[in-house]
Amino acid sequence: MAVLVGKKAPQFTAPAVVKGGDIVENFSLKQYLGKKYVVLFFYPADFTFVCPTELLAFQDKLKEFESRNVAVVGCSVDSHFSHWKWLQTEPKEGGIKGVKYPLVSDLSKTISENFDVLAGDYEYSEDGEIKYNGSPMAYRGLFLIDKEGVVRHQTVNDMPLGRSVSETLRMVDALQFFEENGEVCPADWHKGEKAMKATQKGVADYLAKRK
């Protein structure tokens, strides 16, 4: 699996559903370059079981992301028509009605492939037939992309394992704190806590205060 941290995030143009019901044909992350941070997360499929808990959890925290100048974008291999239907379905019926951030359609699976989160691949048999090995869906990949379009953090979970939205917010805070202050964030750092200088003395001083 590719490590994209420190590299430009792959660009794409694809259909998406925005604002809970508006279909746009040419959605792209380029609209955020120089303006916003992006949390791009992949999930396996619409109308499944763990996925709605994640998408609704991101919506519950959406104002916190927006207050940090972060755009949240979801993506799966479903069509934008499937996204739209799921967005019109009440949560008590397994839907995600109320989600307002963009959901991108990766029906061709090329976005998932470029971010290296596709759970399988194609190969030719001895008879020259194409077959797919694995599951033709995305793992639960998540990428924190800075305003310059560079990936600064990524995680990939297997399909049964839901993510922590609070941890994603923590990583946003850590990145923005480092950019603003030049200090690095130690293990389990949270916004408002002391950070440390990236020097031997800085580390020694920080560790001394933990005793």
**7-54 residue pLDDT tens:** 999 999 999 999 999 999 999 999 999 999 999 999 999 999 999 999
Pick the catalytic residue: 4, 16, 40, 51? 51
pLDDT band at 211 (very low <50, low <70, confident <90, very high): low
Q: Please, are residues 157 and 48 in contact by the beta-carbon 8 Å criterion?
A: no
What six digits make up the tokens of 180? 């603003």
| In the chain, beta strands by DSSP E | 13-18, 22-28, 37-42, 70-76, 103-105, 118-124, 130-138, 140-145, 151-157
As a whole number of angstroms, the distance between CA 85 and CA 101 comes to 15
- Read off the pLDDT of residues 58-86 as tens digits, 9 standing for 90 and up: 999 999 999 999 999 999 999 999 999 99
Q: What's the mean per-residue pLDDT of the chain?
A: 94
Over residues 98-112, the mean pLDDT reads 97
Domains along the sequence of the chain with CATH: 13-161 (3.40.30.10), 164-211 (no CATH)
Residue 163 and residue 156: Cα distance in Å, rounded? 9
- Return the bridge partners of 179, or none: none
Say how many C-beta atoms besides its own lie within 10 A of residue 134's C-beta. 10
Cα torsion 98, 104, 105, 108 to 10°: value is -160
Whether 185 sits among the annotated catalytic residues: the reply is no
1 pLDDT more than 70: no
* Structure confidence at residue 83 (pLDDT): 98
192 by Cβ neighbours in 10 Å (0-12 / 13-18 / 19+) ranks as exposed
Distance of alpha carbon 43 from alpha carbon 100, whole angstroms: 16
Q: Pick from 134, 130, 125, 77: which is nearest to 105 by CA? A: 77
Q: Inform me whether the pLDDT recorded for 200 exceeds 90.
A: no
The conformation of residue 109, written as its DSSP 8-state character, comes to S
Q: Bridge-partner residues for 14, per DSSP? A: 27
Nearest to 42 by CA among 130, 147, 135, 173: 135
What is the DSSP-derived secondary structure letter of residue 92?
G
